[in-house]
Structure 1
């Protein structure tokens, strides 16, 4: 049995489908099973990762756990790992971040802090582990969906910030291989997973426009104002401002580009243009 946290998120939903296609038994954790819309082959279970003490039944009988901190917050990470140990889980695949460097700079921002704390807890657990250190998510572009639908103009403070956006299905594919591993080849590996090419934020907006068949463009706006407008309970203004600060450090640089997807899954990583094509309906 493989337990998938964050099963209705961008990565989790793809992962559930992949695991089922491989014949695995999957228990998908979600706060609202009635609205999850997951495949019938998955055992969909109500669970709140902000209350790790109550996770015993959800983890019972599980051999492996996919842990995505977005489903419960970084503070819950170590407690969820403890719950997994108590339940007899043998392997954890942690959805981590490229921001983690295993150095003192991991304390510099909330993204690396959250994931490095969880990584240390997993390492200390004594369980088998694999870290999927994802680069900038292509799915972050969904934050622009409303603006693109309404006007085709995205307001953003950093048009020249450059990353190598990674498709959520590529992250799910790497995680699936690690969860299903029967050889031990992926045990103890920290995989840095990126997309195959560098794209500025302005280029990503233009890529979406080409898929839609209508012009889209990025208009520069102050970081403070954009953060206030886009803030949500899950991603508050302060967190967005920290992200903008991180993006600012990428201007004029060459982002990391890895061949991890090819090496682990046997197929090349998808481009941002392919991601935009897959999500065209979200922007129409």
Structure 2
């Protein structure tokens, strides 16, 4: 299967080593893309809940696939999160195309992107880590119960159901926390003159412009591979939220944002053959003339 070539892919909150991780689906996704850069935005390995007795082959395959992508030329950035915070002692370590860091700033087509996990905004983690870990164990148990419920629903031919998402969407405190998280990220990004702010942590995929009295930025969240099975993709100067359950292995669709893009630039970005812009334009014009002549002759 031909891989989709994209500039940048962002995944977060995979939680390898837990029962809720959808490793097989993530492997299918990683096998479908060929990004120039792959950003692992925290909580990829769940060291908080790591158990020797539970790390199935599919979870190991995810790590092998990521390493394989790095060995074939993809720049891989591992940004540490709270569940894999032990890796922060290795921050700024590089091994070929694989780099470990706590945050990342990228220049994307003249715009600045600020990428970090987001746990720095979480007061419960900063001030009461034991409470946050306890909540993590409870969340893992809820995911296991949910998997049994979904097994039963599948047997009856009914759609999957997410208990954790239902709880989050119904508890006012959770809704307020998510709103405060997004507002804080947006305010800081605008204050520091970033065009994009990209987070994970809260398991809520989102792409939305945020604006205050000082300016505007694009807030992005990559979601997770436990409940939502989502990623962020950047290509053709635009962002897209990839939903595995909806998009499967579909191509990177073009939309209204591409109408203003120069045709030469667009074709050059998706063609395998590197070609001089002038030569490419001449070839397009020749093709138009041939088509016109063919229609005239007919």
Q: Output the TM-score relative to the length of structure 2.
A: 0.28
Q: Output the TM-score relative to the length of structure 1.
A: 0.29
Larger Rg, first or second structure (1 or 2): 2
